[in-house]
Chains A and B, each alone.
Chain A
Amino acid sequence: MSVTKGTPDFGAVTNFEGDAATIALRGRVESGSAFELGAILDAAIDRKPASMVLDASELEYVGPAGLLAVSNAEKRLAVLGITLKIQSPSTLVNRLVGMMELAEVSRLERALPGHGHLGPEQLGERGDLTQRFASSLSSEDLRRLTALPADPDVIDGALRLIVELARISIAGADGVSVSLLRHGVLSTVAASDQTIMAMDADQYSTGQGPCVDASIKGHWFHAESLDTETRWPAFTPQARGLGIKAILSSPLRAFEKPVGALNIYSRTAESFEVKDQESAAVFAQQASVILSDARAGVSDTQMAIRFQEALRSRELITLAKGIIMGREDVDDESAFKVLLRSAHAEGLPLRERAGAIVLSVERPDLRTKGGPDD
């Protein structure tokens, strides 16, 4: 028996085979359809199923209200001793569920999106490992491991959720947006309303403003009161004209390069307190992880440069370990420990300590006087 409900944007089909319930979801769960989703889940749980699966393969997006509905259903099912399974979630849905920290309790049924269910028997000799892996890895991780290219829609969807969460949870936030550098051009990929869209656009066109500076310089900018702000003379009057009094822009990074900014706007001057700045930093960090996963805004050339940097550090550390191995007659791993201890003693990153050791051998005249003899 099955019951179909829905609107053009959202649909659900509940199917009972005996007492095993499957609810197939389609489309987008925004705040309106979240109520409907909650009712559908409740109706199914009222029938006291022995198991329950949410088929999310056709689900495109779930907002915070929808996630809350799923979370409530999980709690009700837990009372009945049943674990809700979420089947074949898309990368985005999985990301969203994970972001709301539901992943821990959801016991997502792992499957690669678009590949149907991939059971251990299909995984060849890595099956055992992959099966164990699957119990703790999200399908997002599996997607990344299989190196499928990142879908810009997925990134945008996740960033929209961050904008929504930041607006709800940061006191004094009247509007939130995310700006992203794509092919060297800044644009707004998510904004809570049109005024905020316009505010970002004014910054791009004047080349001024906290959002532009945070995106390019990679550190945060806080305009506490635009009435007294002097840093962005071309932009500030336009923002005041739209009723904005305070702006907080936190940088977004992918592979440690600045690629955009999370911008929070307020109609009240000095409305962002220290705790709001901290919350903004947390949201910016979440967004940065998503962008890094997707390698958004980072060109192949930038990746190559970063990789060359890493190789140079690695060579330096290898050299330093070699020197220690020769000096102290120890193996590679013990040499690493010696290097680590001496870096800690000096309060230096490993690379810098390694550099100093290599230099001390190449240029004995620079060696610290009174240091240990060879």
Chain B
Amino acid sequence: MTEDGHDALDVLDAFRQEAGLSHGELWLRYFELGGMSTGFDVEAFLYGVLAPSSHDHDVIAQALNERFAELGGNHPVPYATV
């Protein structure tokens, strides 16, 4: 844990790893769902370096949750607004 506490925000990236998606794959899925941010920005969101808007958070969460559903799981990633 670093002083600025950013590790606590790495949680989205932990979901990505659990879902077995590379950053490139997750970005493509995010783009597929209408996401407007670049791959660079999405990585920054995943690591908690930049805070995503609640909309961006929800698009990423949905991209991850659809992947978990394909793997036979439920929707473990929480949404910001839905």
Chain A interface residues (CB < 8 Å from chain B):
104, 129, 132-133, 135-137, 141, 144-145, 255-256, 285-286, 288-289, 292-293, 295, 306-307, 309-310, 313-314, 317-318, 321, 333, 336-337, 340-341, 344, 349-351
Contact = CB atoms under 8 A, between A and B. Distances in A.
B35 to A, nearest CB: 9
Contact of B43 (A141, A318, A350, A351): A141
A321 B55 CA distance: 14
Contacts of A321: 34
A349 B31 contact: no
Contact of A256 (B2, B25, B34, B44): B25
A257 B43 CA distance: 23
Given A292-B25, A313-B33, A314-B32, A136 B40 contact: no
A285 B17 CA distance: 9
A135 B6 contact: yes
B20 A285 contact: yes
A137 B58 contact: no
27 contacts: A129-B50, A132-B49, A135-B6, A136-B49, A137-B49, A141-B43, A144-B24, A255-B24, A292-B24, A306-B28, A309-B32, A310-B31, A310-B32, A314-B33, A314-B34, A317-B34, A336-B58, A336-B59, A337-B58, A337-B82, A340-B62, A341-B82, A344-B75, A349-B69, A350-B62, A350-B66, A351-B32
A306 B75 CA distance: 24
Interface string B15-34: 00100111111001101111
B33 to A, nearest CB: 6
A133 B13 CA distance: 14
Given A255-B25, A336-B58, A136 B33 contact: no
Given A317-B34, A349-B69, A136 B58 contact: no
A340 B65 CA distance: 12
Contact of A349 (B28, B55, B66): B66
Of listed B6, B29, B33, B34, residue having the most chain A CB within 10 A: B34
A144 B42 CA distance: 14
Nearest to A137: B47
A306 B23 CA distance: 15
Contact of A133 (B28, B39, B44): B44
Nearest to A290: B22
A118 B75 CA distance: 40
B53 to A, nearest CB: 8
A333 B39 CA distance: 20
B34 A318 contact: yes
Contacts of B21: 289, 292
A150 to B, nearest CB: 11
Contacts of B17: 289
A256 B48 CA distance: 26
A285 B51 CA distance: 28
A135 B2 contact: yes
Contacts of B49: 129, 132-133, 136-137
Contacts of A137: 43, 47, 49
A255 B32 CA distance: 14
